Amino acid sequence: MAELSKAYEPQLVEDKWYDFWLKQNCFTANPKSAKPAYSIVIPPPNVTGMLHMGHVLNNTIQDILARKARMDGKEVLWLPGTDHAGIATQVMVEKQLKKEEKKPRHDLGREEFLKRVWLWKEKHGDIIINQLKKLGSSCDWTRERFTMDPEYSRCVQKVFVELYKKGLIYRGKRMVNWCPVSQTALSDEEVEMKAQKGFMYHFKVEVAELPGTWLTIATTRPETIPGDTAVAVNPKDPRYTHLIGKHIVRPLPAELPREQKLIPIIGDEHVDFEFGTGVLKVTPAHDKADFDIGTRHKLPLIEVINADGSMNDLAGADLRGLDRFKARKVAVEKLTEQEALVEAKPYENNVGYSQRADVPIEPRLSEQWFLKYPAVEQSKACVAEGRMKFHPDRWAKVYDHWLTNIQDWCISRQLWWGHRIPVWSKRWQGNLRDILTDIAGLIIKDVYPQPAGFDSQDLAITINGKQYLADSVALQKLANSIDKSFDQTSEYYVQIATVNPSIQKNLELAGVEFSQDSDVLDTWFSSWLWPFATMGWPEQTETLKKFYPTTDLVTGPDIIFFWVARMIMAGYEFMGEPQFGLPDALPFQNVYFTGIIRDKQGRKMSKTLGNSPDPIELITKYGADALRFGTMRGAPLGQDVMFDEKDVELGRNFCNKLWNACRFRQMQGGEVQGEINPALLTNDDKWILLKLDAAIRELDTAFAAYKFSDATAALYRFFWNEYCDWYVEASKAVFYGTDDALKANTLAVIDFVLSHTLRLFHPFIPFISEELWHGMGYSTEMPADQGGETIMYAHWPKPFDAEFTAHYGLEACWLDIVNARNEFVTQGRNLRREGNIPANKKVKFQFQPAAQPAPQDLEVLKILLNAESLEVVPADFQPRKGTPTLRGAIGELFMPLEGLIDVDAEKGRLQKEIEKFDSEILKVEQKLANPNFTTKVPAAVLEDHRNRLIEWQAKREHARAALAALEG
């Protein structure tokens, strides 16, 4: 390797290695491999989205897992792709259309508009993929999927038809969450409850049968009064029981004749008589609870709000055409004019907002498709019983609670961008015999080959709500069996759900009479199939057999219901078939929930706040490795992440440290040293090897618990605070010396440590670790498939075994010996500091060792103390009075006549130290004097305390002696 530059420059390195990995197909999973499988599917980002910090966190974790698994010898599939994101994408294209051509989408028509969306996708779809590559994501790009791919779309259709056949999908007129801006129904999960400041209006109405008797009604939505069809009271409420059955005069619309304003007073248990006035206005067409009351009492429905949130004709002349919020104000004015308004007091209540458009949703009655969730019990059980693990596991409770209380899923959306519902329908005048015959003709098994996994069973026929056998021969037989004389002409409603393209074509060709449902499916109705639909389902592909169920899923807790829970259900429903030979239908074994990325102030990152940094800018500025390392360092399991650019800076600094540590090795010259000679190992060599072993164990523990912040912290500590701060500094004693054999051996130790360290680093900081792996020449030492070609396939380091430890004499006592020496050095440096010796000045020390040291150890001491010389003095040596002295475990250190020591300050410091020792000694003594303690405590803890007491006492003696020397 050419000489390394002084600072690490990621820009020169990252793209080079990513291209290399791609060219060598390093990310491509081989289903035929004999290695055990490891797989993850990416949570597909929005195809037109941009990388944000949430993606960085999420994908870095996935990449760490994938790279670690490769080094563990697994065959890894990390399957990437994107999501079509129905509403978000459609809105984006609509906006562009409005801006550039000043047209709403309806001016273009559905077909032309969809062409525009695809154009947009072609233009922007690669952006986020390329950004993921910049981050270093080791995805198998050869398998990249998009939820609107033809193959994927067929899966979605198949799933729809299967569930439809089972009767789990149905169409019905229900109250749904309607978004007046997007003008589509939403699922319950897409509605966010928000506190909203408004008013509670009290208005009075007269009881028609009892002139002069008035009821006061409380409402937050006076604009819906024209839609009221009853007022309800609790039948047990003594204030009102006598009024049930009578009528009130509804104040709006004002222009109606009195008889059309009369609505009944009904009794319903739902009414809480503690709340408001105990009288509830019932608007069945615009409120879910009211709709239920209306159903119980067979109340008429009056719709007064249009799909776009404006008021319609039935709302009356005063409100007609107004937006619902404007209408609220006008309704209040009208009530005031009628002197019906009693009061309006400020009030805060929770209102459901459309998550996408951020406007209050409007409960609205409409015809929609619903799904009764499949496999709910199995899905609950697998998590409850721990066969699927959540990390952190508290999310299991949230998951369980949701599954226990779920309602049917509204899966249809009144959008154009998405998977169009594969149902064709027709209102058919005729007799059943002829109709069945016609249908049999439409569904004749096609002459075109079907893709593997699809067959004629992917077809369902419903006539007037009854399902018929989906087979042309059987239908014809049935038709023939109907006696003509009984078969009368009437209207039949025929629905045909099919995946088969040729039947679909037949239905289209059947002319204007058959028409495909105009709605599309909720985007999540496609992404819940992601773990298997991306692997070639319904065909039993090699990929599916090898890599399904997947191993880990990494995602945010905000989509636990939207995506995770539904994927589990889909897994059971569609992958539970025995022919796959699966032990279980779990789509994944572990779910890791990341935190939510917030800014320094703890606010969620969002486009509107503009508080989300652009990860690509951060990569440009600091490097992808720095971004990854910094993010992981600050992202503990289960906690939200308070992101700060300082974290990335930390990552950059760390990479630079690693770079320079390698540069230091490089500057000592020579080839890679393979063999370590146990006979030549210094204390420091043994110490760093033991520390390396400890680091490997820590990493393994952290990985087992998915604690990536622990892992990065351990790596940081080991490399910076142990290897660089102590070992590298100590090794200078060898390199500045003349013993070539020792130099070679030290290089061998360094090469051993660095080559292991780089491997430990690789999953976290893939680019720099690869660069240095090659640059340092470690790749040349390895077989091609075990690191020779790339560090990606180098084996993950194992903790040292007993044989290794014995061979190199790595007893644990070396840790204590070197730790004691290090502590002595720190105190010695402190002595310099207290003596006001400038950092750049070398000092002549005298050292009175407690035991005869090896010459090499003295050299190390000298270097670490930045000493000009370290004169060993005999045991009976007496330093001159007033010499700054350090008494430590390994001996005494004198700093004769150096600097301008501030005697009083030094005395003060020593006294403070002695006080600290006193209090520690007192604490331990008190414990040891307590018989309860000495008899109940484990032997090891007792021993620990006794040792601690001795240590503190020794330290106190040393400090006292130093103080005495100063005073002398």
Partner RNA sequence: GCGCGGUUAGCUCAGUGGUAGAGCAUUACCUUGACACGGUAGGGGUCACAGGUUCGAACCCUGUAUCGCGCACCA
Nearer to RNA, 53 or 782 (CB): 53
199 part of the interface to RNA, by CB under 7 A = no
Residues in contact with RNA, shown as a per-residue x/- string from 913 to 932 under the rule CB under 7 A: -------x------x--x-x
Q: Is 157 left (phi over 0), alpha (psi -120 to 50) or beta?
A: alpha
Token pair in block for residue 719: 């490399």
296 part of the interface to RNA, by CB under 7 A = no
Which three-class secondary structure state does DSSP give residue 364? strand
Q: Any idea which residue has 């050419």 for tokens?
A: 2
Nearer to RNA, 499 or 825 (CB): 825
In the complex, the smallest distance separating the C-beta of residue 914 from RNA, rounded to whole angstroms, is 13
Nearer to RNA, 274 or 801 (CB): 274
Rounded CA separation 654/631 (Å): 13
289 part of the interface to RNA, by CB under 7 A = yes
346 part of the interface to RNA, by CB under 7 A = no
- Identify residues 539-568 at the interface with RNA (CB under 7 A): 558, 561
The answer to whether residues 236 and 344 touch, using CB atoms and an 8 Å cutoff, is no
The answer to whether residues 297 and 312 touch, using CB atoms and an 8 Å cutoff, is no
Rounded CA separation 601/643 (Å): 9
In sequence order, what are the beta bridge partners of 145?
81
The answer to whether residues 220 and 345 touch, using CB atoms and an 8 Å cutoff, is no
DSSP string, 752-772: HHHHHHHHHHTTTSHHHHHHH
Nearer to RNA, 882 or 899 (CB): 899
Nearer to RNA, 80 or 226 (CB): 226
Quick one: 578 exposed, middle or buried, by C-beta within 10 A (0-12, 13-18, 19+)? exposed
Rounded CA separation 297/283 (Å): 12
Residue of the chain from 2, 839, 900, 939 that contacts RNA (CB under 7 A): 839
Q: Which stretch in 650-658, 754-762, 791-799, 854-862 sits in contact with RNA by CB under 7 A?
A: 650-658
Residue of the chain from 520, 655, 753, 758 that contacts RNA (CB under 7 A): 655
Rounded CA separation 283/294 (Å): 8
Token pair in block for residue 1: 């390797």
939 part of the interface to RNA, by CB under 7 A = no
The answer to whether residues 579 and 619 touch, using CB atoms and an 8 Å cutoff, is no
Closest CA to 205 of 280, 274, 314, 313: 280
Q: Which stretch in 63-71, 486-494, 585-593, 661-669 sits in contact with RNA by CB under 7 A?
A: 661-669
2 part of the interface to RNA, by CB under 7 A = no
Compute how many residues bind RNA; rule: CB under 7 A.
91
Rounded CA separation 219/230 (Å): 14
Residue 857: φ, ψ to 5°? -65, -35
In the complex, the smallest distance separating the C-beta of residue 5 from RNA, rounded to whole angstroms, is 10
In the complex, the smallest distance separating the C-beta of residue 180 from RNA, rounded to whole angstroms, is 18
- Identify residues 842-881 at the interface with RNA (CB under 7 A): 866
Q: Measured over all CA atoms, what is the biggest interatomic distance in the chain, rounded to whole angstroms?
A: 131
825 part of the interface to RNA, by CB under 7 A = yes
The answer to whether residues 233 and 264 touch, using CB atoms and an 8 Å cutoff, is no
Residue of the chain from 43, 278, 309, 536 that contacts RNA (CB under 7 A): 278
* In 482-604, alpha helices (H): 501-509, 524-527, 530-533, 542-547, 566-575
Q: 508-512 contacts: CB < 8 A, separation 24 or more?
A: 508/424, 510/426, 510/442
The answer to whether residues 368 and 171 touch, using CB atoms and an 8 Å cutoff, is yes
Residue of the chain from 127, 254, 342, 642 that contacts RNA (CB under 7 A): 642
Residue of the chain from 481, 485, 738, 840 that contacts RNA (CB under 7 A): 840
Q: Which stretch in 30-38, 372-380, 888-896, 940-948 sits in contact with RNA by CB under 7 A?
A: 940-948
Residue of the chain from 67, 171, 204, 221 that contacts RNA (CB under 7 A): 221
Nearer to RNA, 65 or 175 (CB): 175
937 part of the interface to RNA, by CB under 7 A = yes
Residue of the chain from 20, 118, 170, 402 that contacts RNA (CB under 7 A): 402
Q: 502-511 contacts: CB < 8 A, separation 24 or more?
A: 502/446, 502/447, 502/448, 503/442, 503/443, 503/446, 503/459, 504/422, 504/424, 506/442, 506/443, 507/424, 507/442, 508/424, 510/426, 510/442
In the complex, the smallest distance separating the C-beta of residue 937 from RNA, rounded to whole angstroms, is 4
Nearer to RNA, 485 or 932 (CB): 932
Which three-class secondary structure state does DSSP give residue 727? helix
Closest CA to 12 of 873, 638, 775: 775
Nearer to RNA, 190 or 471 (CB): 190
Q: Any idea which residue has 């990152």 for tokens?
A: 605
In the complex, the smallest distance separating the C-beta of residue 347 from RNA, rounded to whole angstroms, is 8
Q: Any idea which residue has 């600050």 for tokens?
A: 634
190 part of the interface to RNA, by CB under 7 A = no
Nearer to RNA, 212 or 938 (CB): 938
33 part of the interface to RNA, by CB under 7 A = no
Token pair in block for residue 110: 């559905």
Residue of the chain from 211, 465, 602, 669 that contacts RNA (CB under 7 A): 602
Residue of the chain from 271, 479, 711, 860 that contacts RNA (CB under 7 A): 271
Nearer to RNA, 148 or 843 (CB): 843
661 part of the interface to RNA, by CB under 7 A = yes
- Identify residues 505-544 at the interface with RNA (CB under 7 A): none
Nearer to RNA, 780 or 819 (CB): 819
355 part of the interface to RNA, by CB under 7 A = no
In the complex, the smallest distance separating the C-beta of residue 770 from RNA, rounded to whole angstroms, is 18
822 HSE (CA, 13 A, CB side): 18
- Identify residues 942-961 at the interface with RNA (CB under 7 A): 944, 948
The answer to whether residues 87 and 415 touch, using CB atoms and an 8 Å cutoff, is yes
273 part of the interface to RNA, by CB under 7 A = yes
591 part of the interface to RNA, by CB under 7 A = no
653 part of the interface to RNA, by CB under 7 A = yes
Nearer to RNA, 637 or 961 (CB): 637
347 contact partners, CB below 8 Å, separation of at least 6: 197, 198, 199, 200, 220
In the complex, the smallest distance separating the C-beta of residue 182 from RNA, rounded to whole angstroms, is 19
140 part of the interface to RNA, by CB under 7 A = no
Rounded CA separation 125/837 (Å): 63
Residue 796: φ, ψ to 5°? -65, 130
In the complex, the smallest distance separating the C-beta of residue 609 from RNA, rounded to whole angstroms, is 13
Residue of the chain from 100, 111, 274, 803 that contacts RNA (CB under 7 A): 274
- Identify residues 696-725 at the interface with RNA (CB under 7 A): 707, 709-710, 713, 716-717, 720-721, 724-725
In the complex, the smallest distance separating the C-beta of residue 382 from RNA, rounded to whole angstroms, is 20
207 part of the interface to RNA, by CB under 7 A = no
Residues in contact with RNA, shown as a per-residue x/- string from 782 to 821 under the rule CB under 7 A: ----------------------------------------
Residue of the chain from 325, 493, 736, 804 that contacts RNA (CB under 7 A): 736
7 part of the interface to RNA, by CB under 7 A = yes
Nearer to RNA, 292 or 438 (CB): 292
189 part of the interface to RNA, by CB under 7 A = yes
Nearer to RNA, 193 or 854 (CB): 193
Which three-class secondary structure state does DSSP give residue 54? helix
192 part of the interface to RNA, by CB under 7 A = yes
